[in-house]
Amino acid sequence: MEYQGNIVKMRTEFANPIQYFLPIGDSEVAMNELIGSAIKMVFEGQINCISCGKKTKTSFNQGFCYSCYKTVPEASDTIMRPELSKAQFGISRNMEWSEKHDLIDHFVYIAASSGLKVGVTRHHQIPTRWIDQGAGSAIKLAKTPNRHIAGVIEVFLKKYFSDKTNWREMLLNKVDGAIDLTDGKNKAKQYLPLELQQYVTDDNSIVNLDYPVNQYPQKINSLNFDKSPEVEGKLTGIKGQYLILAENRVLNIRRHNGYSIKLFVNP
């Protein structure tokens, strides 16, 4: 089988295990079905901006040309730093966009991968956000009416929790068995000042995430199309937005948003 076109991050469906689908050109490939098969991905030397579609020599912020990186709301600083959102004051790169993405309910959550981390996501991105980060489990901490307040809570909790995923340990499946999400949530609530505690949710359900991995790597050899335009080998698993290949190799699909590739599959 052969597929060709620009790729973007894999679409996921919450199931046991997580189901992955790779958009490529006009097709969408069910990646779980390829685990155990030999695949080959060839970068064709062309990158298209995921916003405007024009060719770009360099991809900025996982898929944008420089012009869009500097102007479109999807690439603004508030994506990585939600506390900077000022949409509640009518200030944004695009208020129509912000009304649908910033001025809606957000969740602050506690997730477990290699360790506990705090994060923020829009309400409709649960559990997609957790899956993309490769979390093993997660719990909702707080529900806020906009992105800014969620970001303020996250910033406050950075004193006590990491806000980053250690992607290497996540892919090595190094999980701290002593992690207790309920205890983590209770501690996080106690750390918050009273004016922020009002947003803490009563939903204490824990979501466990199971990934389609036959074999985790023993060490990490990270691949990218800029240095290795041809990537091939047996697909042994998928976690987060990473393809795990035999011989301890991993490929971050999201990093290559907008890259035009050919995908070959051998059963």
Query: How far is 106 from 147, CA to CA, in rounded Å?
Result: 6
For range 147-158, the mean pLDDT? 97
- pLDDT one-digit tens code per residue, 81-138: 999 999 999 999 999 999 999 999 999 999 998 789 999 999 999 999 999 999 999 9
Torsions phi, psi of 117, nearest 5?
Answer: -140, 155
For range 140-149, the mean pLDDT? 98
Look up tokens 């994506």; give the residue: 79
Tell me the average pLDDT of the chain: 96
Say yes or no to pLDDT of 253 above 80.
yes
Banded model confidence at residue 266, pLDDT cuts 50, 70, 90 = confident
- pLDDT one-digit tens code per residue, 161-190: 998 889 999 999 987 777 899 999 999 999
pLDDT at 100: 98
Say yes or no to pLDDT of 251 above 90.
yes
Domain boundaries, the chain: 2-64+213-266, 70-208
pLDDT at 58: 94
- pLDDT one-digit tens code per residue, 64-73: 999 999 999 9
For range 203-223, the mean pLDDT? 97
The number of beta carbons lying within 10 Å of the beta carbon of residue 139 is 20
Q: What percent of the chain has pLDDT over 70?
A: 100
pLDDT at 126: 97
Banded model confidence at residue 41, pLDDT cuts 50, 70, 90 = very high
pLDDT at 233: 96
For range 37-53, the mean pLDDT? 97
pLDDT at 176: 73
Say yes or no to pLDDT of 262 above 90.
yes
